[in-house]
Chains A and B, each alone.
Chain A
């Protein structure tokens, strides 16, 4: 590797070697792992490496942990793109329970329900009980706040949250911020956070050290994926300005029912697959409506996102796995 990149890349390369995976091993593991791919991000530079459940644990990894993001379960949806979204959510739970490194908790990045109906939320809660008591942190999607300005969502999921459901928490030195960008959307606009939430966010991170790893999660992407389809958030730049001082920021979103990743400075943006149905790639269809794939292929376009934090490295490894 070129010496001039040593400072920037040496750390990650060491990581790769520590895991005993050289290029040949990497390719081998890729064949084994299928869609599994880890993006290790440190100092803003992503390094991909193989994901394999046999990856050795580090010595002294007391602070290491992982969590799983699921998204867009759309309970209640019953159209041809997936007539049984309960079954695919159950498959996601099964997938999570089978992970070699068990997550400490889950994030659900919204569109829990399709039509905000109590029985839809009940059904999701029931299925997620299959996770053996793991806590699930939620943020709402636009489908969860239909018709009542999010009142029933807040009663169920946001009792200790602020405003329309935003909050933060800490886990082993990582600071998590759940944001709401699906309320009070303006004609012609994109997702919106609003001034009250942005101010709260600024205050929330003010006292944190710049070395604190930050994870932000919200439903609609906080980066401009495809504004023509509303896949972005109007005031996301202000949210990111609040996080400027931090060396490691990971932004996890849903809404677009497919994985996408972008790295901008110290910020890694990542979107998760849905557990319900896929949506077309930007601009490849007349609209972002549900994409019908042959039923035998459905589970290859649905999935979960496994995120791992390794203490002392400020790096988060993001692994997408399909439900197959």
Chain B
């Protein structure tokens, strides 16, 4: 892999990099479901989580990105996950390994609520 990475990084065009990186990642997780490497995004904007309800498959890594001028947090109501304060453009990620509904809020502005539904 290190050798391959260097080689890929040496290629000039992003298109080629993308084409080559996707198979490389698949080879790392050779015998797992493709969804295991799935990702999803939540944007924090105007003091709200968007989408407010996110539905994903088990194994998905969800990344929250704060687009506000004010810091926010992402805190599970049931103490499953808890971010530090995320300032503008800072991110927080969590991988959901179990099915279920995960309500969360911003601990600084608790009117901000959202949930991740994992199945």
Contacts of B60 in A (CB 8 A): none
Q: Report B93-111 CB contacts with A as 1/0, cut-off 8 Å.
A: 0000000000111011111
Taking the complex as formed, is A304 at the interface, i.e. its CB lies under 8 A from any CB of chain B? Answer: no
Contacts of A289 in B (CB 8 A): 46-47, 68-70
Q: Which of A116, A147, A187, A287 is B68 in contact with, Cβ under 8 Å? A: A287
- Complex CA distance for A118 and B113, rounded to whole angstroms: 29
Report if A187-B48 is in contact (Cβ < 8 Å); known contacts: A146-B85, A289-B68.
Answer: no
Report if A81-B69 is in contact (Cβ < 8 Å); known contacts: A142-B108, A186-B110, A187-B77.
Answer: yes
Q: Which residue of chain B lies nearest to A189 when distances are taken between CB atoms in the complex? A: B110
Taking the complex as formed, is A134 at the interface, i.e. its CB lies under 8 A from any CB of chain B? Answer: no
- Which residues of chain B (75-119) have a CB below 8 Å from chain A? 77, 84-85, 87-88, 103-105, 107-111, 113
Taking the complex as formed, is A185 at the interface, i.e. its CB lies under 8 A from any CB of chain B? Answer: yes
Q: Report B13-47 CB contacts with A as 1/0, cut-off 8 Å.
A: 00000000000000000000000000000000011
Contacts of B85 in A (CB 8 A): 115-116, 146-147
Q: Which of B47, B84, B103 is A187 in contact with, Cβ under 8 Å? A: B103
Q: Report A204-238 CB contacts with B as 1/0, cut-off 8 Å.
A: 00000000000000000000000111100000000
Report if A147-B84 is in contact (Cβ < 8 Å); known contacts: A187-B103, A230-B109.
Answer: yes
Please count how many residues in chain B sit with their CB below 8 Å of the partner chain's CB atoms: 22
Give the tally of cross-chain contacts (CB within 8 A): 59
Taking the complex as formed, is A129 at the interface, i.e. its CB lies under 8 A from any CB of chain B? Answer: no
Q: Which residue of chain A lies nearest to B87 when distances are taken between CB atoms in the complex? A: A115
- Which residues of chain A (172-213) have a CB below 8 Å from chain B? 185-190
Q: Which residue of chain B lies nearest to A292 when distances are taken between CB atoms in the complex? A: B69
Contacts of B108 in A (CB 8 A): 142-143, 146, 185
Report if A187-B113 is in contact (Cβ < 8 Å); known contacts: A146-B84, A289-B70.
Answer: yes
B28 to chain A, nearest CB (A): 33
Q: Which of A146, A187, A288 is B110 in contact with, Cβ under 8 Å? A: A187
Q: Is the CB of B46 within 8 A of A190?
A: no
Q: Which residue of chain B lies nearest to A290 when distances are taken between CB atoms in the complex? A: B69
Secondary structure type dominating chain A contacts:
loop
Contacts of A142 in B (CB 8 A): 108-109
Contacts of A3 in B (CB 8 A): none
Q: Which of A79, A186, A230, A287 is B88 in contact with, Cβ under 8 Å? A: A79
Q: Which of A143, A185, A227, A287 is B71 in contact with, Cβ under 8 Å? A: A143
A90 to chain B, nearest CB (A): 22
Contacts of A290 in B (CB 8 A): 69-70
Q: Which of B69, B107, B110, B113 is A79 in contact with, Cβ under 8 Å? A: B69
- Complex CA distance for A189 and B77, rounded to whole angstroms: 12
- Which residues of chain A (132-158) have a CB below 8 Å from chain B? 142-143, 146-147
A17 to chain B, nearest CB (A): 47
Contacts of B77 in A (CB 8 A): 187
Q: Which residue of chain B lies nearest to A229 when distances are taken between CB atoms in the complex? A: B111
Q: Which residue of chain B lies nearest to A234 when distances are taken between CB atoms in the complex? A: B110
A20 to chain B, nearest CB (A): 46
Contacts of A229 in B (CB 8 A): 47, 111
19 A-B residue pairings within 8 Å (CB atoms):
A77-B69, A81-B69, A114-B71, A115-B71, A115-B87, A142-B109, A143-B71, A146-B85, A185-B110, A188-B111, A189-B111, A190-B110, A229-B47, A230-B109, A286-B46, A287-B47, A288-B47, A290-B69, A290-B70
Besides A143-B71, A188-B105, A190-B111, 18 new A-B residue pairs in contact (Cβ under 8 A), listed by A number: A114-B71, A116-B85, A142-B108, A143-B108, A146-B108, A147-B85, A187-B103, A188-B111, A188-B113, A189-B111, A228-B111, A230-B109, A230-B110, A287-B68, A288-B47, A289-B47, A289-B69, A290-B70
Q: Which residues of B does A touch, CB under 8 Å?
A: 46-48, 68-71, 73, 77, 84-85, 87-88, 103-105, 107-111, 113
Q: Which residues of A does B touch, CB under 8 Å?
A: 77, 79-81, 114-116, 142-143, 146-147, 185-190, 227-230, 286-290
